[in-house]
Structures are given as C-alpha cells and as structure tokens.
Chain A
C-alpha cells in the first residue's frame, strides 16, 4: 500500500508542477462561466437564465472536455515510462505492476478531481454572485452533482487511457488511440444511436438501455435526472423516460465503467513481457 501511495504522490506532484491542475481548472472555470452567461444567447437573451438550462449546458461542456482531458492526462502513463527507460527500472524495484498502475490511477484521479472541483466550483460561485434570483441550495446541489459525476466520468477515461497505454509500444500510437476512443464515445456513439432511433419504427423499448453502453450518456442521465424542465434540451437522453433509470443505478454503472477497463489494464500489464 505504501508503494501505491508513493507513486500516487509523485504523479500528483507532477500534475501540480507541470500545471495540469491549474490548466484544467482554468479551462473548466472560464468555459463554464462563459456558457452559463451566454448559454441563452441563441434565444436572444444574455446572462443567467435558469438553473435547468445552465446545468444542461455545463454537462454538455463536461461531456466534451472531461474525457478529452482525462485521456490526455493519462495516455502515456505506462508507455511514456517505457520510452524513457524508467519502466524497466521501476519493475526491478520491490513494487508490483498492479501497485504501480494503481498508484498512477490514484495520482491522476486526484489531479482530475481537484482540478474539476476547482474549475466548476469557481464557476458555481461566479453564477451565485452574478445571478441574483438563483436558489443557492439548488445551485450548490446541481454543481456538487456535476462535480462528482464529472470526476467519475474522468476516471472512466483515465482507465481507458491506461488500457491503451499498457497495450501499445509507442507513445504516438497511444495518443492516436486515445483520440479515437474520445471520438467514438463522445461523437460517433450519439450519431449511431440517433440513426438507430430513427430507423426503428415500432417497439424500441430496449433503446434506452443502449445509453448505458456509453459512460458519457450515463453521465448525462445522472445530471439531468432532477430536471423535468430540462427534458426539452437534453437531446438523446430524453429517450429514457422519467424513472427508467434511477440515478443510483446509473452511478453504479458509471463506476463499473471505471472498474472494468482498469481491471483489464491491470491484467494486461501483469501478463505482458518486461
């Protein structure tokens, strides 16, 4: 356990030093405040409109950015050390491969968690200050849920990044695969599901279940569950009629989306040759 903490500690300090934490927090805060303020510009208004619209906008932002940030943060976790020659050295230390990978996961996970909490937290404060009529308790609840679910979503993609990182032998390959994963889950999946939705004329009770095959849809379901009013803006996730999926269940599925790729990455890493 000690070794896991040592690795985690080093990764987190690296994240502070090379400004990952700062950069992620700033990008999220600026974009979140911008979206909260200009989110209703399309309908001719400026400024904060309603909590529902804001949460929908922020979760859309998170769906695009969080997976990308997580993949960028972690894609070279193993393959990068391999290219630098430090992996060979680490493997001769009294430290198992699982401990190394888990340590990195905790380190990277903490970087993402701290940066997300900071970024969306700042945005939440800015909204509270800038929108006089807002229900502070509801805002805090929504932002809190957004932060927790964003962190979970980020961990899912960190796990994906590790799975890539233990599989390939070159950093460039890992970067390419990471982008493909992002593209598939964030863009292609939605389009494919939309096409399916249009082509299925009858029945289709099973369609909402397909949402669970994509962690980014799980993330949307969690954040939008509380907003009946937001249904008109939620796009695809609205095929899951109210109450089909309880947030606790969806959260559990999102956690499974972390554990499965992480477990596969551990298995693969332990079995591959030094």
Chain B
C-alpha cells in the first residue's frame, strides 16, 4: 500500500493561534478517512495544508510524495479533486458551463463533462442555470467538479450539509464507487450517523490535536465504551439474573430490557441471556461513531477550553 498523504509532526500557527499541533498521519491509497471535530478543531486547516493553500509552520507534509505547497503544486493539483464547504458557483452559468470552465482550467478532456453530469444525476438539468438549482443539485455539481480528470485523491469538506437522507445516501454511494476504483477520499462531516457506514478510518481532532485515529473497531477498543444489549421477551416470567455483569438501564413496556455492558463482559451476558427463558430476540448495539466522537472529544474539551 502506498501512502498518499503523510503528515510528519505538522504544526500550523496563525500568529498566536495554533490551529494544528504536531499532527502525525498516514493516509493510504484507496482509503476513506473521515476528519471529525468541532468547529476550529483543525479540519479545514488540515485540508488547506493538503491542498497547498497554506504551508506548514513546522514539520513535513507530503502528498503524492511531494510538498503540496512547493514547486510540484501544479502537477499535484491535477490529480486532486476538492469540494469546498458552501461553494456558490456561478449563478448565471448553466451546470454544464460551470464544469466546462473548471475542466479547461484543469486541462482535462472536456468531452467527458456530460458523462460526469449523468454520473451525479444532473443530466437533465445540465443546461439550466445554476441559479435554479436546489441545494442538493449544487452539491452534486460540486462533486462532478471535484471528479474532473479522475483524481486520485478527493477532499470533501462537509459534503452532505443540507442534503436530505436520500441524497446523502446517493452521495456516499458515489464515494464508495470511487474508493473501489482506488481513489483515496478524505471527508469532513458533522453528520456522523450518515457517514459511519462508508468510512474506513476516522481521525478525531480537537483544538488542533489528534485525539484518536483508527477504524471504528479500533476506536471502540480504545474507548472501551459499554455496548447496549436489548433483549426482547416476556420479562414478567423471569426477572433478569441478579449476577449479570451489566446494569439494566431501561425497561420498555415489560417486553424489552436494555443493558449497558462493558465490552469484556459481552459474551458472558449474551450466554446468560440466551439461556433465560421467555427471551425471544436479542439485539446488539455497539457504540456508534457518535458515541465514540463524544467520548474522545470529551477527553479534550477541559484542556481545550483553558
């Protein structure tokens, strides 16, 4: 596996403010990495550094093996797609004209613009002015723009803000298809439940520092958050065993019980529950990305506030 992006102790300061502190990160080819964090956590700074819009104050950053701010910038930028947050595009142009302009600037084959528009579902609207587009259509036009010239690295800043659930699903389906073709994707998002199924790893930032990095499983192991087991059945026959290594948190209308269980005790609790008479169904709910995010950000915030 090739490293597409390498942060080696990268720090970025703006005057007295440190927006990114000593970041170490390797992103491999064909990986979908989510950048998570509150506003001002350093997500946008990290993206701007990768895009070569700003230079690191300290440390070394390599994208496709070269410094993105240096002399190689032009070559790197042609292999890279970016979808900024809140891009307005040119209202008076049609979707097709917008793409035509960006394709010229990126020096890519303009004959494939129509394919791109079809790919993001804007084939019908391609000759209408952007002014008449809905938020979702603009976002899809932005994605089509980012996909110009088959980039090997895609940076998506808050790509699904303002999209409805169906549009969000479509959006991530496109991202997954790209990943399957070997494209590396970095995306930042506030909408954690939507992004969870589509990412390989998550980087959680807080106050410019790396709070956690890993796949969902790795993050769960690090966090050791209790998981939730929901057991449905007739609890009036047998009450839950008293020695269950879990605490019952909720009883829903006598038919379901929820337990919060430390991951190490998961199997013991499950064995115990499966042998309890009257139980018809057991659901296992591992901590979600949102729980993990809250957990890791909470470790930072007291210091982050000071």
Contact = CB atoms under 8 A, between A and B. Distances in A.
B54 A273 contact: yes
B7 interface: no
Given A86-B87, A86-B89, A88-B84, A93 B54 contact: no
Interface stretch (A10-18, A110-118, A166-174, A213-221): A10-18
A95 interface: yes
Given A3-B105, A10-B101, A274-B53, A94 B88 contact: no
Given A94-B107, A274-B54, A89 B92 contact: no
B88 A95 contact: no
- A7, A92, A94: residue with the most chain B Cβ atoms closer than 10 Å: A92
Given A2-B107, A3-B105, A92 B88 contact: no
Given A94-B74, A94-B77, A274-B53, A89 B106 contact: no
A89 B84 contact: yes
A93 B52 CA distance: 10
Interface string A76-94: 0000000111101111111
Given A85-B86, A93-B106, A14 B92 contact: yes
B80 interface: yes
B80 A95 contact: no
A85 B130 CA distance: 15
B138 to A, nearest CB: 11
Interface residues of B, number: 28
Interface of A is mostly: helix
A86 B53 contact: no
B104 interface: yes
Nearest to A5: B104
B77 A6 contact: no
A100 to B, nearest CB: 9
Contact of A92 (B82, B89, B101): B82
B82 A89 contact: yes
A97 B85 CA distance: 21
Interface in B144-181: 145
Contacts of A95: 105
Nearest to B145: A89
Contact of A6 (B78, B80, B105): B105
Nearest to B54: A274
Interface residues of A, number: 22
A92 B48 CA distance: 9
A274 B48 contact: yes
A95 B75 CA distance: 11
B167 to A, nearest CB: 20
A153 to B, nearest CB: 28
A3 B93 CA distance: 19
Interface in B119-143: none
A91 B53 contact: yes
A91 B89 CA distance: 14
A91 B47 CA distance: 13
Contacts of B54: 273-274
Contacts of B90: 14, 84, 86
A8 to B, nearest CB: 11
A194 B107 CA distance: 55
B229 interface: no
Contacts of A93: 77, 102, 105-106
Contact of B92 (A17, A83, A273): A17
Nearest to A93: B105
Contacts of A92: 51-53, 77, 80, 82
Interface of A: 2-3, 6-7, 10, 14, 17-18, 83-86, 88-95, 273-274
Q: What 7 pairs across the A-B complex have the smallest Cβ distances?
A: A84-B88, A274-B53, A6-B104, A85-B87, A94-B74, A94-B77, A92-B82
